[in-house]
Structure 1
Amino acid sequence: MSRHVSNVEDRSPVKRLEEPQRSPKKLRLEIEIDENMSDNSPERNRRANFSNVNGVNRNLNIHSVKPTTKKLIIKNFKSEPKLPDDYHETTWEKLKSAVIAIQQSKPNEYLLEELYQAVGNMCSHKMSHILYNGLSHLIEAHVCSNIERFITEPMDRFLFLKKMNDTWQSHCNQMIMIRGIFLYLDRTYVLQNPNISSIWDMGLDLFRKYFMLHTLVQTRVVEGLLMLIEKERQGDKVDRTLLKSLLRMLTDLQIYNKAFEQKFLQATERLYATEGQRLMQELEVPEFLAHVDKRIHEENERVIHYLDCSTKYQLIHTVEKQLLSEHINNILQKGLDNLLEENRLHDLSLLYQLFSRVKNGLHELCLAFNAFIKKKGRTIVIDPEKDKTMVQELLDFKDAMDNIVACCFKKNEMFSNSLKEAFEHFINQRTNKPAELIAKFVDSKLRAGNKEATEEELERLLDKIMVLFRFIHGKDVFEAFYKKDLAKRLLVGKSASVDAEKSMLSKLKQECGGGFTSKLEGMFKDMELSKDINVAFKQHLNISTLDLIPLDMTVNILTMGYWPTYTPMDVTLPPQMVKFQDIFKEFYLSKHNGRKLQWQPTLGHCVLKARFKAGQKELVVSLFQTLVILLFNESDEHSFEYIKAATNIEDGELRRTLQSLACGKARVLNKIPKGREIEDNDKFKFNNDFVNKLFRIKINQIQMKETTEEQKATEERVFQDRQYQIDAAIVRIMKMRKTLSHNLLISELLAQLKFPVKPSDLKKRIESLIDRDYMERDKDNSNQYNYVA
C-alpha cells in the first residue's frame, strides 16, 4: 500500500479519474420492438442505442417473433479486438513523455484522462510489468541526477538545506501526479503482486537509495540540521519550517533514527553536560532551576514543532540527566537551606517539580528536607536563651514546614512523614524542657487577660499545640507542669475561659486516654462541688443568728490527691476572718464527718473597699496584700518589722507583697525611703492621695520566678511517679508470664512504658522488686526471673 506523507500537500491539477471498464462479459438480451413505432420516436431511438455497448459495435440478429414485434439477441465478440503492432511502443512513449514533463515541470501535451485510459488498456492487455519497470527506470534516473547534483554544485550549508528541501518537495509532488496517472497500475498489478512496492513507496525507496548511497549528501544534511538546532539553542532565530520539512523527509525515508537521532542526542548530551557544569558554578540555585525548567520547556517545544515524537523521551531524559541528575547533591547542598529559611515557595515548588522528573530526586530532596528540619529545630530547642520564645518559634516553624509540604511538595506523604519524624527527633533532644515550656505556654494562653485571640483563634492555637505535644516523649512532665498551672488558674480565678479549659482537657484525654487526665478532671469536679458548698454555706449564714460583719467569703474545697502539693504556711489573720473560717469548718465537717480541712492562705484573694481623698475604690488583691493593707486601718504608717510581726508572712513573700503595693503601678502605699528594693528599716505610709480613673483596680502580686529548686522538685515528683509506673509494669508482666528472661522483660517494658527510660533504670527497678520479694532470680539461670505469688 502507498505510504502517506504528512508534510506534502497534493496541489497537482490531476482530476479524479475513473478506472477503465473491464471487457464486458458475454451478454444475451431479448428486446421486443413495436413495428408500429415511428422510426424517429424517442423510444425507438433509446432502444436502438443498445447497438453500441461500451463503444464497441455489436451484431444485432433480429428474428421475427410476432407480426407486431421483433426479438433482438445481443452477443459478445467471441475474442478481444486485436491491438496494432506498435501499440505498446506508441503508448509507452506517450506515457514516458508525460512523466518526463511532470519531472521537468513542463506542460503536458496529453489529457490526463487519455493517459489514465492508456495505462488501463496496457494493464488490460497484460503489459503491467513492462509499464511498472519502465516507470521505475524513469523515476530512478531522475532521482539519481537530482541527488548527484548536490555533490557537484558547491554551496553553503543553509543554501544546501534549502535546495535539498526543494528537491524533496518537488519529488513528492511529482510522485503524487505520476501516481494519479498510473493509479490503475497501482490498484491492480501492485495489489496482485505483494513482492513489489507501490508507486509511492517505489519513489521513496529510490530516493532513500541514492540519498544513502551518497554519504556526503546525507552527512551534510544531518550536520546542517544539527547546526540550525544548535543556533536555536543559543538564542538565534532559525527557519523551523525548513527543519520540520527535512526531518520529516528523514522520517519518511525511514532513516531518521539511524542517520540523525543518535547524532542529535549525542550533541545534546555534550551541550548540556558542559552547560550544567558551568552554570552550577555561576548561578545561584533559584536561577539555575529556572534555567533548567526553561531548557526542558524549549526541548518539548522542539518535539512539538519539528522533531519526531519518538525522540521526546530520550531527548528530555538527556536534558534531565545532564542538568539535574548529575547535580542533585550540589543543588541541595548549595541552595535548599536558603530556600527553606526564606520560605521561597515558588522556587521550592519548581525544585520539587524538577526533582520529581529524575530517579531518586524526591528521595534525596526528602532526606535533605529532613536534615534541615532537625538542624533548625535543634537550634531552637537546645539554646537555653530561647526558652522564652521556644514554643512560639516551634509553632511558627511547624506552620512554615506544613505550608511548604502542602503548597510546594503536593502534600506528598513521604515528606509529611519525614516532617513528623524530624520534629519528634529534635524536640526530644533536650530532656523534659520542651514539655515544661509547652505546658507554660498553654498556661499563658488560657490565663485571664489574654486578649490576643478570639475563641476560634484560641481553639486553632490549642490544636497546633497538641501537634507539638504529640512529638514529646515525656508527656508526664507536661502533665505535672500543666496541672500546677491549671490549679493556679482555677483557684485564683485567672482562667480566661472555662470552655477553652475543657476543650484543652478533652484534647489531652483524646490523645493520652482517661488515665492521663483523671486528676485534671478531678480538679474541675472539685471546683463544681465547691460552688454548691458555697451556696449552701451562704444559706446557712442567712438563717444563723450569729453577729457577723458584712464579709462575703468563698471557699474552694480541694481533694488532696487531685491538686499539686502546697507548702503549709501559717499567717496571722484578722479575728473576723478567723471567725468565718471556724464557722465554715463547723458547717463543712457537720456534713462530711471524718474529713480534715487544711487552709492554704497562699492561694487566697480578696476584694477590699478603700477610701481615698479622690473617693472610694475597690482593690482586687491577694490574701497577703489584704493582711498588709488592713494594718493601715490602725495607723497611717508602719515599719517593715512591725508588718512582718503583725502578719507573720514569710520574709521573701512579704517583701514581694510590699513591693507590689508600694513600688508597682497602683501605689496604695508610699515607701520611705523611695526605691525598688525592700529593706529591713523601710517604713510604709498609706497613700491617701492615690488616684486612678478605674473604680475597681487589680493590684497584681509580684510573682517570684520559678527557681531551679522548684523546677527540680517538680521533675523529681515526675521521676518518682515514673518509678511507681515502672514497678507496676514489671509486676503486671511477671504476674502474667510467671517466668521471663531479662532481655524479654526489658523489651516488653520498653514497649509498654509511655515515657523515655534507660535500660539501666529498668534494671535498678528490677533489683528493687527482687529485694522487696515481688520476684526472684531463677536458681539455675541467673538471667531469668520468676514471679513470687
Structure 2
Amino acid sequence: MSRHNRNSEDISPVNVRRTSEYLGAGKRKRETVEVDENMSDNSNEKNKRANFSAITSNGLNRNLNILNLKPTTTKKIVIKNLKSEPRLPDDYREQTWSKLEEAVLAIQNSTRNEYSLEELYQAVENMCNHKMAHTIYNNLRRLTDNHVRHNIEQFLAENMDRFLFLKKMNETWQAHCHQMIMIRSIFLYLDRTYVLQNAQIASIWDMGLDLFRQYIMANTLVQTRVVEGLLMLIEKERQGDAVDRTLLKSLLRMLTDLQIYQKAFEDKFLLATERLYAAEGMRLMQELEVPEYLAHVDKRLAEENERILHYLDSSTKPRLIHTVEKQLLTEHITNILQKGLDGLLEENRLHDLTLLYSLFGRVKNGHSELCVAFNGYIKKFGRTIVIDPEKDKTMVQELLDFKDMMDNIVATCFNRNEKFSNSLKEAFEHFINQRANKPAELIAKFVDSKLRAGNKEATEEELERLLDKIMVLFRFIHGKDVFEAFYKKDLAKRLLVGKSASVDAEKSMLSKLKQECGGGFTSKLEGMFKDMELSKDINVAFKQHLGNVSQNLIPLDMTVNILTMGYWPNYPLMNVTMPEEMVRFLEVFNKFYLSKHSGRKLTWQPTLGHCVLRAKFKTGQKELVVSLFQSLVLLLFNSADELAFEYIKAATNIEDGELRRTLQSLACGKARVLCKFPKGRDIEDNDKFKFNNEFTNKLYRIKINQIQMKETTEEQKATEERVYQDRQYQIDAAIVRIMKMRKTLSHNLLISELYLQLKFPVKPADLKKRIESLIDRDYMERDKDNPNQYNYVA
C-alpha cells in the first residue's frame, strides 16, 4: 500500500512503481519503489521532496524521504526487511485467551468484567491475525456448551409448577440471547473473518442457538413440559381467563428461533384446537339458538386471529382458522340451516343473515348450501300464499311484500350475489305457478284496483314503482293470456265508466306489457284506447249535428262510446224497456252514425250505461249518479209513489237477478232513495217500493253504487273458457305452422317444437287432442308405414 502526499501544487507529477517479493509465509516482504519525477529547470523545484510511506506485513509504518531527485532520472529505492520479525511472547496465546475466557464467564454469570470491550475486541483481532481463530472458536464453543449444559439441571425437577417452569424457561432463554449478543460483540472480528471464510462453521449466534436447542429443547422431558405449559395457558385464555401474553409470545418466538416451532408445538396445538372446538360445536349446537351460535363462531374466529397477531407464528394462521371453521361451521352446516334459516328469514333478521352469509363464505360449498336452503324456503313459504284460497284477497300484496323482503335480503345480507338472485327468481316462478291461472287473474284484478284508486292512495311516482313491482310478478306467471283476458275486461270497465284515475298510469302499464310481451299481446288493449279517442270525436260531431237539426228532443246530454267488437270483451245482450225519450235519442244517433259509416251495425249495450238524474227531495234537489238500470227504475216513480216488484220487472224488462240487485242498491244501501216494504236485506217477489222523500245527504252529487254481483264462478269460468278457446286456436296454428315448414315430423319432435313455441302451459294430452282434431279436418295425416309420424297435407 502506498500513500502519496503533495505539499505544493507546483510539484510535478511523480510516477511510482512498486514491486513486491514475498520471502516466505509469515515473513517480511521486500518492496521496491521506483519513482519517476519530471522536474522543471527551476532550481526551487529541484529541492522539492516527495514523501512516501510503505506499510510492511507486520503493520509497522516506514517513512521514506526522497531528497534531491534529479530531473529526467529514474531511481530505484530498495527497502530491505529486517533480518527477523518481532516474536510474540511465549505465553501470549494463553494470557490473551485467559482474558477473553474471564470476560465470557463474567457475561454468562452476570458479574463485573474488568476489561473494556475495545481491549477485548483488539485481543480477538490480534489472535485472529496470528492464525489463532480456530482455537478461539473452539474454546468459545466449549465455554458456551458448558454453560448451556449446566442450565438444564434446573428444569429436571418434576415437582416444579407449570407456570413457574415457563417463567424460568423464559428467563433462561432471554438471558441466553442477551449473553450471546454481548459475546458476539466481543468476538465480532472472528465472526466476520474466520466464520465467513468457512461455510461449514456456524456463526456465533447460530452456534448459541444450536447448543440451546441441543441441551434444553432436545431434552424430551423439558420440551414436553414447555409445550404442555403453552397449551395450558392458551386453553385457559380460550376459557376466558387472563394470561400473560408476553410470556406466551416470548416462548413461542423461542421455538421459532430454535426452528422446532412446527414439529414440537404447532401440530400438538392444532390437534388440541380441533378437539376443543369439535366438542364445543357439538355442545353449543344443542344449547344455543342459531343466531347466538353464529355470534359465538364469529367471536371465536376473531379471538384466534387476535392470538395470531399477539403471539402465534403467522405461518399457523391458515391451518388454525381452517380447523376452527371446520369444527364450528363445516361439520354443522346442515344443522344450522335446518334449525335456524327459516326463522331468520321469516323474522327478517338482517344482521344475523349477513353474519350467516359471511361465515358460510369461509367454508367450501357454504354459499351453495345456503343458496339451496334459501331457494327451498322461498318455494315453501310462497306456496302457502298461492295455494290457500282464503288468501286470494291479499295474495298479490303478500307476494309483493314477500318479494321486497327477499330482494332486500339478497341485496343487504347476501352481497347482491348473482347466484342468490337467480335462485330467488327461479323459486318465485316455481311456486307462483303451482296454482294454474289464479295468480294471473288476481294480479290483473290487483292492477285494476290500483289503477282505479290511482293517486287517491299514492303519488304518481309511488304508483309507477308499484306497477314495476307488479310487472316482476307478471314475468313469473306462465298463463299470461289469462292475465290479458282479465286485464282487458277490467280495463274496459275503467274506460267505459270513467273509473280510471290516471290516463298516464294506464298508458304506462300498457307500455310495460308491450315491452315485456310484444305488440301482439297489447294490440287489443291499444285498440280499446283508440276506440275511446275516436268516440270523443264522434260525440263532438253528434252534438254539432243536434244543434243544426231540430229533432224535438228533450234536453238530454248523451255520450256514446263506439266499441270495436274484436277489441273489447264480449258482453251479454239485454233487451230492456227504456223511456220513449231515450229511445228517440238512440234512433237519432243511429241514423247519424250510419250516415257517416255505411255498412256498419250498432249493437247497444245497456249494461254498460250510466246516467246522472236530478231528483227533488223534501230537503232540496240532488244529483244522483246511477247506472242505466237504476235510472230506469227511478224514472218509474215520476208517475207513481209506490210500485210493486212485479210491476217494476214488467215495466223495465230487466233480468230478474239484475233487477233484484238494482233495487237492493236503491233501497238497502247507504243512499236509500227508495223505501222497501216490508223491510229486509233481500228482495222478495211481494215487496213494494216507495220514493223516499225524506232522503238526506250532505253532498249535492251522490253516487249510488250498483251492488256488484261477486264475480260468479260462472263468469270466471266464462273468462277462462274464452282463454281456453284462444289457446286451442293458438295450438292449432302452431301445429299447422310447424308441419307446413317441416312437411314430415314424428310425434315426439312435433310435441317438442310445440313446447318451444307456445307461451302458455299446456299438457301433452291437450296437444294430442289438437293433433287428432287437425287430422280429422285433413290438415295433416298419419304416415301409413309409421303411425307415429305425421305428414302435412298441402
Q: Determine whether 1:56 maps to 2:68.
A: no
Q: Which moved more, 1:362-371 or 1:227-236?
A: 362-371
Greater relative CO, 1 or 2 (CA 8 Å, sep 6+):
1
Q: Determine whether 1:649 maps to 2:654.
A: yes
> Which amino acid is 2:62 matched to?
R
> Which amino acid is 2:230 matched to?
L
Work out which of the residue numbers 625, 629, 652 in structure 2 matches 1:624: 629
Cα distance in 2 for partners of 1:53, 1:316 equals: 64
Residue aligning to 1:537 = 542
- In structure 2, relative to structure 1, the CA distance for the partners of 1:153 and 1:327 (3 Å cut) is closer
Residue aligning to 2:183 = 178
> Which amino acid is 2:60 matched to?
V
CA contact (8 A) 1:731 1:774 kept: yes
Cα distance in 2 for partners of 1:380, 1:80 equals: 111
Residue deviations 1:335-375, cap 9 Å, x none? 11111111111111111111111111111111111111111
> Which amino acid is 2:318 matched to?
Y
Residue aligning to 1:561 = 566
Q: TM-score, normalised by structure 1?
A: 0.92
Q: Determine whether 1:780 maps to 2:776.
A: no
Residue aligning to 1:498 = 503
Q: Determine whether 1:400 maps to 2:405.
A: yes
Residue aligning to 1:522 = 527
- In structure 2, relative to structure 1, the CA distance for the partners of 1:510 and 1:166 (3 Å cut) is same
Residue deviations 1:271-315, cap 9 Å, x none? 111111111111111111111111111111101100001111111
Cα distance in 2 for partners of 1:693, 1:76 equals: 141
CA contact (8 A) 1:61 1:73 kept: no
CA contact (8 A) 1:60 1:73 kept: no
Q: Which moved more, 1:664-673 or 1:495-504?
A: 664-673
CA contact (8 A) 1:662 1:670 kept: yes
CA shift, 1:72, in A, is 13
CA shift, 1:518, in A, is 0.8
Residue aligning to 1:457 = 462
CA shift, 1:530, in A, is 0.6
CA contact (8 A) 2:51 2:63 kept: no
CA contact (8 A) 1:444 1:450 kept: no
Q: TM-score, normalised by structure 2?
A: 0.91
> Which amino acid is 1:582 matched to?
E
Q: Identity of paired residues, percent?
A: 81
Cα distance in 2 for partners of 1:53, 1:308 equals: 52
Structure 1 segment 137-152 matched on structure 2, within 5 A: 137-152=142-157
CA contact (8 A) 2:32 2:79 kept: yes
Residue aligning to 1:609 = 614
Residue deviations 1:521-557, cap 9 Å, x none? 1111111111111111111111112222111110000
Determine helix, strand or coil for the equivalent of 1:569: coil
Cα distance in 1 for partners of 2:558, 2:284 equals: 79
Residue aligning to 1:86 = 91
Q: Determine whether 1:582 maps to 2:590.
A: no
**Across the two proteins, how many residue pairs are aligned to each other?**
755
Residue deviations 1:423-471, cap 9 Å, x none? 1111111111111111111111111476221111111111111111111
Structure 1 segment 423-438 matched on structure 2, within 5 A: 423-438=428-443
- In structure 2, relative to structure 1, the CA distance for the partners of 1:27 and 1:514 (3 Å cut) is farther
CA contact (8 A) 1:58 1:75 kept: no
Determine helix, strand or coil for the equivalent of 2:156: helix
> Which amino acid is 2:491 matched to?
L
> Which amino acid is 1:58 matched to?
R
Cα distance in 1 for partners of 2:32, 2:587 equals: 141
CA contact (8 A) 2:496 2:561 kept: yes
CA contact (8 A) 2:385 2:399 kept: yes
Residue aligning to 1:303 = 308
RMSD of the TM alignment (CA)? 2.5
Residue aligning to 1:552 = 557
- In structure 2, relative to structure 1, the CA distance for the partners of 1:471 and 1:709 (3 Å cut) is same
CA shift, 1:26, in A, is 5.7
CA contact (8 A) 2:351 2:413 kept: yes
CA contact (8 A) 2:453 2:501 kept: yes
> Gaps spanning 5+ residues in structure 1: where?
1-22, 38-42
> Which amino acid is 1:144 matched to?
R
CA shift, 1:66, in A, is 8.0
> Which amino acid is 1:258 matched to?
K
CA contact (8 A) 1:723 1:765 kept: yes
> Which amino acid is 1:373 matched to?
I
Q: Determine whether 1:189 maps to 2:194.
A: yes
Cα distance in 2 for partners of 1:639, 1:773 equals: 60
- In structure 2, relative to structure 1, the CA distance for the partners of 1:27 and 1:129 (3 Å cut) is farther
Q: Determine whether 1:277 maps to 2:282.
A: yes
Residue aligning to 1:696 = 701
> Which amino acid is 2:497 matched to?
V
CA shift, 1:745, in A, is 0.5
CA shift, 1:81, in A, is 3.7
Residue deviations 1:20-61, cap 9 Å, x none? xxx9996959899xxxx9xxxxx99x9899999998363656
CA shift, 1:152, in A, is 4.3
CA contact (8 A) 2:612 2:626 kept: yes
- In structure 2, relative to structure 1, the CA distance for the partners of 1:82 and 1:27 (3 Å cut) is farther
Residue aligning to 2:40 = none
Residue deviations 1:631-676, cap 9 Å, x none? 1211222222221111111111111111111111111112222221
Cα distance in 1 for partners of 2:448, 2:485 equals: 13
Cα distance in 2 for partners of 1:499, 1:61 equals: 115
CA contact (8 A) 2:54 2:61 kept: no
